[in-house]
Amino acid sequence: MMNNKSTYFKTAIVYDWLDSRGGIERVIPIIIKEFKNVDLYTSYFDPVEAAWAKKYNIKTSFIENLPNFIKKNRLLSLMLYPYAFESFNFSDYDLVISITSSFAKAIITKSDTLHISYILTPTRYFWIDNKSYFNNRFIKYISKFILSEIKKWDFIASRRPDKIAVISNLVQKRVKKYYKRDSVVIYPPFDLKYWVKIKSEIDRKQAVKDKNYFLVVSRLEPYKRIDLVIETFNKTKEKLIIVGLGSQYKKLKKMARKNIEFKKNISDIELGVLYENANALIMPQIEEFGMVSLEGQFFGCPVISYKKSGTAETIIENKTGLFFDQQSTKSLGAAIVRYRSLSYNLKKSVLENNLNNIKRFDKEKFIYNFRKLTHL
């Protein structure tokens, strides 16, 4: 571990928006705890959906004061975010860490302030998957006029960080391709001590009526492709439990048949119980890293994942999970059939290999590598 000099530096962490809890929202508290003297900046804060952040000193932009139907609709508020992040003043800070999948890297800092950007992905709806977002005639028409210009702005914004870290090799390749920037891979940390504590608090007598189910744990957003899992299980009629919230919640719930159950706002203890008793965790999306795949593995839950994903860096094929090659019901269905034939040995193998695999993403390694990047 490097020296603790950065404890005495005034530090700001900047995140796109605080409106949920997912994999990266588990990382932010670790960084805040390590650097201690920290203010947390964001475009807006939802104290209900992001209750985990209430204890921090949060500073929001003018977007905070807009009606919910604007600020919670990424497309309606799209053109406001550049102004929101460029309006923040970081002149009093020695270190600024932007954590971003879109706009937070655009902050403007003085030359003597070190700006490190931890990039989760280049802005997805500009560079990677705009079809999932600009998906009706009106939005497609409007996007023709704004998309090229805002992509130019996003590229310019990517020049502003002094250093860039990324969460996986997959994202490193994207950053080089779209932003023409070099970066260092720092895998997000898996907090093993925390999850051991959660596991110890699970009541082994807690009744699970039906253990014959598959599990999805995800934000319910277009790029997560939860629709693909629902279409597959609508056909197979096997039980599926979906844990998560997002803009697609109502749409996905409407398309799901009775064999598919939705859960939201559950505790980590409840989540642990679901992981422990599930047949397998299904991840159909192109995930930049996939923290939930490590959570599932920790609880002995095999992972069935799309292969062209960052989860290829977190799953050991045929030991802690299986991959499928195409984002189609046919390919996912075939993987589920294959899982059935391997389930006994695979569940046993996950328990034999999960801890050694998870240790590659140790929290102390993450902290060491982040401190090394700050040179503080």
CA-to-CA distance for 95 and 109, rounded, in angstroms? 9
pLDDT for the residue 141 = 56
pLDDT for the residue 271 = 94
CB 94 within 8 A of CB 162: no
Helix axes 192-201, 291-298, angle to 10 degrees: 50
CB 118 within 8 A of CB 165: yes
- Report pLDDT digits (tens) over 129-146: 666 555 666 555 556 667
Average pLDDT of the chain, as a whole number: 89
CA nearest 190: which of 305, 335, 66, 299? Answer: 299
* Residue in the block written with tokens 């497309």: 75
Cross-strand partners of 98: 14, 117
CA-to-CA distance for 37 and 373, rounded, in angstroms? 18
pLDDT for the residue 134 = 57
CA R_g for the chain? 21
CA nearest 283: which of 226, 361, 353? Answer: 226
pLDDT for the residue 79 = 85
pLDDT for the residue 5 = 47
Contacts (Cβ under 8 Å, ≥6 apart) of 25:
50, 52, 53
- Report pLDDT digits (tens) over 252-297: 999 999 999 999 889 999 999 999 999 999 999 999 998 999 999 9
The helix or strand, by DSSP H or E, that contains position 166, with its residue range, turns out to be: strand 163-166
CB 366 within 8 A of CB 187: yes
The helix or strand, by DSSP H or E, that contains position 281, with its residue range, turns out to be: strand 281-283
Domains of the chain: 5-186 (3.40.50), 192-360 (3.40.50.2000)
Amino acid present at 324: F
10 alpha-carbon distance from chain centroid? 27
CA-to-CA distance for 267 and 89, rounded, in angstroms? 36
Low-confidence stretches of the chain (pLDDT beneath 70) = 1-8, 22-23, 129-145, 204-209, 376
pLDDT for the residue 211 = 79
pLDDT for the residue 246 = 85
